[in-house]
Each structure stands twice: as C-alpha cells, then as structure tokens.
Structure 1
C-alpha cells in the first residue's frame, strides 16, 4: 500500500508554544511546480498553500479521519487553549494528542490514549459511524498512559503504535500491536519491538511495506533524523538522510507520488521537502496541527 496524495490538508494547531493561540484555520498545500536544475543537483520545488476553510472553534491536535471516498474529513477532540477543557462533542473522554490513523477503514475508527486537561490517558475509544458517530470507551486498560504516539492501521483490525510519551514519565521506543475483535468492543495489546531510540511528537508516512517515522523529540532533544520500519521484516533503521531542520509536532505526507513533505511543527515556519530546494511557506506557523493527505 503506497499512501500518496495530491494535497495535504493542515488542520488547526497553535501559533505559540504551551498550547497558546490555538488556530481554527484550515489550509491546503500541494506541489505547484518542479523546475529542473543543473545535472546532479536537487530540483527546485515550489509549494502552493491556500486557505480552504475554518473550524467552528480552534483546535490543537485533534484526531482526523477520511470519510465518504475522501470527500469528508471527520475532526474529533483536540484542545482549545492553554489549560482549557478538552473538546468532547464526539468523544466519551475529551482527548488531544491521541494516536490514530486518518486512513482507518470504517465503520469503526479507534483513537488511542491522548491528553485530557491535566493527565495522559490509557483509554481506547472507538467512533462508530453506524451509530451516528457515538463514541464508546473500552473498559480494558491494556496500554500505558500515552500521548504523542503515531498509529498505523493494518489488515484484520490490527494497528501498530510507534513511540509516544508514556506513563507521564518518559518518551518510549516501544512498538505495540493492538488487535480488536470483530465489533470493536474488545482488544488485545502485545509488544512488537523497539525503535532505535525513544521518540514522541514525530510524524509518520507509509510507503509500500515501509513506514517512515520523521523527527520528533527523544526526551532530551528535538530530532532531525528519520527511522525506517519494515513491515515485512519487523526491523527498523535510522536513515542517513536528515531533515534540513529539527522538528517535532509537525505533519507529513508523500505528495505527487515523489516528494516527502514535512510541514509545520516546532522550531520551523516553512514547509520543507526532503533533498530539494524549496520555494514556499505555510500561510501561518503551526505547532501540533493535524494533517490529512488527499
């Protein structure tokens, strides 16, 4: 499965650190032009960003899912401002910074962990499309309290969780496999390996049988490295390529079937393209937005 797209929708976030100045703006970026350069040098890539809408209220780090053949985006949870309550319109427990996969296949859309006002969560919640998007919190607590992980949906109701901030104490390098029963009323969690280093606030893209885990925070420093995890061999490695700037709390996608785009996040105001010269910026700087490629 090669997850590539034409557009990357960048939803909400906050303009400053510590959840200050939350954003309701939604913008869309794409590759507008690729100019050939001299032999053996990187192409010049131009990014186009446009404003496409606004959320009804500002949200930082909501969970998002693609619906109706990529015609709609479901946006759930998130936080509205520093130390504010968490949004609870669809979730049984309000949560931001949760683990989810925007490409999950319905009618069940699970959300893992997250942050609720003052503490991390060890809950799994499931949005049920067939029940008018009612959310149910599953009783089992088999995960640690965890936020800022990334989650990949696999076949047969299985999900992989990579990294995150665990038990409100440390950044983890654990990989966990989560499997649901047929009606998503129960699940099991098993250990599935370790990443080369602990990481949270990273982004994730899937390219065929490989998963790229990009940037993030290792508990001490913001990272500019990329981890490649092989779904077939279950092995991971640190790629020699690095980001042009260290980033956490950003979003990423493969656009135009060729370019890995990393946008927003902390310590950056630009939309970067790996190993390319870039001409383009987001309309506004964003920390911890949600990103949905279409």
Structure 2
C-alpha cells in the first residue's frame, strides 16, 4: 500500500505514518484481542477486516442486539460475542462503533472494564464534542484516540459488512495534546493493516472538513429529492438514483450527526449556497458557465484522487 507523502496545509497535516512509527520506536505486532462495541455495518466490517488480515488474534463483539451478534458471527466478523461488556477485559484495543449520541456513555462503560493502559477508539463521524468529553473522562484509565473511517454504504447491519469498503479509504485520527503517542502510533499502523490511509487531524478540523465532504453531500441529496416533483422522480436516471440512495440514509443517525456538527455544517451550507449563486449568475450570463464547470471538473475526485493532482507516491 502506498504511504502518504508528507503534506502540509493551513488546515491539517497528513503524515507519512510508517516513517513516524519507525522514528518513534513504536512497531505494532499482531494485536492479541480486539473488542468491538456495536456490530452494525461498520463494526462488523472492521471485525471482518481484522480477522481476514490477521491483525488480531481474537475479535470479540459486544451488542445488546443478540441478532446482530449472531449475524456478525455467521459472516465471520467475530470469534465470540454477547451483550456483556466484561468480554472486553482482555482487549488490547476496543473500537466503539455506536451512533454518535451513544459514544461517550458507551466508551466510559467500556473503559471501566478494560485493562488499564489499553487503547480505545471510536468511529463516529463527528469528533469535537466526543473527543473533548472522552479526553477528560477517560484520562488515566485507557489511552483514547478519536477515529473515523471514511467508509460506508447505503446498507445496514452486519450482513452488509464488506472489508472492501475500507480498502484505500482514509482513516481519520484526531489526537490532541492529551493523547498518548503510543495510541497514535498503534492506531496509525492498525489503519494501514486494514488497508486504509491514516490521516491525522485536530478534532475541530475533522468536523469542518467532514462537514464539507460527507455531511453536506447528504443534505444536498435530501434537498435535491425534496425539490423534484413526483413526475420528475418517476423518470430519474442513474445520477438521480445515486442521490436517492444517499437521501435514504438512516434518519435517526443523520439527525444525531447534524445536531453534533451543527456549526460546521452551517458553514458548509453557506459555501454551497455561494456556489449555487455563482451558477445561477452564470445561467443568466453574468459569469462564464464553462469556466465554472471546468473548475469543478478539475477538482472532482476520482477514487479519492483529484484529477489535477498526481497519485500519492510511496516514500522510502
């Protein structure tokens, strides 16, 4: 897998994570036990990838839904599972994969039974509020680092899990000045072993950037479906169908995401509104439409790589 080249911008820094691990003296061997709390789509996908890539000796799942545990075991995402958090006691790493509103309380309960000094991360798509709360509440108990794999699908539940969803995708990590460096190094290497590209961001930068490329597109899809008449929806082609798949995302989850990241999403909506205004002016002949369209075409990503930038190169 290609490493990230060292790249800096005013908003965030992407590190060559393998180089950082070697220079810091942290080299992650195979983990013993990894616990996953919440074995829905993402939790089960991570479990499958951990087992298929032999990243962990054992993967245990915890979920209050017995059917979710059964499904995750059936597809091979777990070695064992149940509803009792005590299953996390031997874990070297615990991944909390529950809806945003439940992350803090679930993480605190999980940390209470974990080995002191073990690592805990989460996969919520908002970070600032969660990281602030857990940095304070987990200090001295476990080594916490916020995480967010930029992966998913319109599917739900363990039976839709697929390790291919992770391949080549960014795994966003949000350390703070209170984060143990060993937790950063371990999660960086785990991300790479899962076939993902680790990216380090501050929690606030994470929320600002993810609002633009994840939360805003969902709301754009919602608006596009809402603006179309019933007759238009009936003749929609593949492009509109793609918007429809996005708009059919789980409402309860998206309400939680939008509430948690309200300020950043409002900024992203403002940026989008300004772009719509430019397009409207172009349609009226006040701006050159072709220039606007070509600009967006150049910047549009293909498989995560912008058209006007070369693919990431390996750093040796």
Normalised-by-shorter TM-score class: under 0.3
Whichever of the two has the greater Rg, that structure is 2
Instruction: Tell me which protein shows more strand as a share of its residues.
Output: 1
Instruction: Tell me which protein shows more helix as a share of its residues.
Output: 2
